[in-house]
Amino acid sequence: MAEQEEQQQITALDTPVPGPSQTGRAVALARLLHHECTHLLQLYKEKETFLSDHTPDGGRILSLSLDSEEPSTEEQVLLLHSALRQCLGLIHCVIAKEEEEWGELEGDYEAMRKNVRLRLEHLLHSTKDLAETEDKTLEVTPDHQHHTEETDGAGGAFGLKMWTYRVLQELIHWADHAAQTLHVLHKEREGTEEI
């Protein structure tokens, strides 16, 4: 029953709203990504049950530095785009390391992990379209600047598990952040909260 409800919810989120704006589609996409990231973490906890009652205290993997104290929404979207690229780099790294460590699998977790990667790439294209200007060209390729040191520091298969856990939580955080930021942009550009 829970799976059915979840599937219905996904279907509802996937259903294209008639005539949504570009920002509206981006908000919907970010919300869908957030939902899928949450589900991915849930699936991972089912695999590694010891993580169920553990909260990592390593803080954020990704941190963004703002040039101004009160950045505009467009600046926030730019920062968001940068964060999402790093998130894409993280999920790429997770996929690569897990496949190396455990081998290639085709379970629910692996399928959702692939979904998240594709959704994240899709959202990156959306934010690029929203934030890109004639003066500034944005990339949609994965940014791998953060993951190397973290994984190396953790060490071993147990470290990979803990790091993966942190990455998945990081993805949830940034997907939620993307939904909120894009919603603000949507309100500013469309003048309505309706998606």
Partner 1 sequence: MPCISSSSKPNCRPVWLFFALLGLSAMHTHAKEDLTVPEQVSLSANMSTKQLSISWLGGTATTFDLMILRTEFNETVFYETVSVTVNQVSGRHQWNWTSVEPLECTSLSIKIRSRDGQTTSEWSSTQILQGSDLPSNDKFQMYPQDKVVPVGANTTFCCIVEEGKVFGNIQQSNTVMNTMQLSRRSYATTVYNQEPSVRTGTNILCYDYPKTQLTGAVVFVGYPPLPSDLMCETHDLISAVCQWNEGRDTHLYGKRRTLYSLNKRICPQTQRERKCIMDQWDGNWTLVAQNPLGQYSLTYSAELSHRVRPEAPANVNSIVHAWYATVLWQWKYSTYSSLALVCEVELSSQGYKTTHTFSGVGLRSVDLPDLYPDEDYSVQVRCSAQQNFWKWGDWSKPFFFKTKTYVPEAPDVWMWMNRDNTGQVIWKPLTRRQSRGQITGYKVTFWSPEENQQHTEMFSPDTTAAPINLTQFATFSGNKIKATVIAENNEGESQPASVLIPLRLTDVEPLVVSRAVHTDSGFPLFWWKDVNSTCGYVVEWHEASCKWDCPVEWIKVAARNTNVTVESANFQPGVRYNFSLYSCSSEAPELQQRWQGYMQELVPSGSVSLSASQQDSNILLTWGEIPLVKRRGFIQGYNVYISNGSQLALLANLSYQGARNYTVKGFSEGSYKFTVKAYTSAGEDTGATASIMLELYTDWLILEILASLGITALFLIIVTFICYKKRKWVKKAFYPDIPEPKLPGDWARTQGPLDVKPSPHSMVHIVEKPEWDSSKEMLVVIPEEDEDEEGQGIGDEPVDTDEPTSLRYYNHVVDERPIRPRYPDSSTSSASSLDSARTDVTYTGIQTSGSSLVFQLDPQGFSEGHQPQTDQFASCVGGGGGYRPQMQTRAQSDDMRPASPEPFLDPQVASGGGYKPQSSWNFDVDAGESCGLAPSLGSPTSVASTQFLLPDEEEHGEEKRQLSSSAATWFTNLLSSTKP
Angle between helical axes of 73-102 and 147-154 (0-180°, round to 10): 40
**Of these, 158, 188, 192, 194, which contacts partner 1 (CB under 8 A)?**
158
Alpha carbons 176 and 163: distance in angstroms, whole number: 20
How near is the Cβ of 30 to partner 1 at its closest, in Å? 30
Question: Is the distance from CB of 160 to CB of 97 less than 8 angstroms?
Answer: yes
How near is the Cβ of 170 to partner 1 at its closest, in Å? 18
Question: Is the distance from CB of 164 to CB of 51 less than 8 angstroms?
Answer: no
Q: What is the 3 state secondary structure string of 29-83?
A: HHHHHHHHHHHHHHHHHHHCHHHCCCCCCCCCCCCCCCCCCCCCHHHHHHHHHHH
| Interface positions, 25-84, toward partner 1 (CB under 8 A) | 47-48, 50, 54, 57
* Closer of 50 and 148 to partner 1 (Cβ): 50
157 contributes a contact to partner 1 by CB under 8 A: yes
105 contributes a contact to partner 1 by CB under 8 A: yes
Q: How far is CA 50 from CA 24, 53, 184, in A?
A: 39, 7, 38
* Closer of 118 and 157 to partner 1 (Cβ): 157
How near is the Cβ of 159 to partner 1 at its closest, in Å? 8
How near is the Cβ of 118 to partner 1 at its closest, in Å? 22
152 contributes a contact to partner 1 by CB under 8 A: no
User: Which one-letter DSSP state was computed for residue 135?
Assistant: S
How near is the Cβ of 53 to partner 1 at its closest, in Å? 9
Number of residues counted as binding partner 1 (CB under 8 A):
19
* Closer of 106 and 135 to partner 1 (Cβ): 106
Chain contacts with partner 1 (rule: CB under 8 A)? 47-48, 50, 54, 57, 99-105, 155-159, 161-162
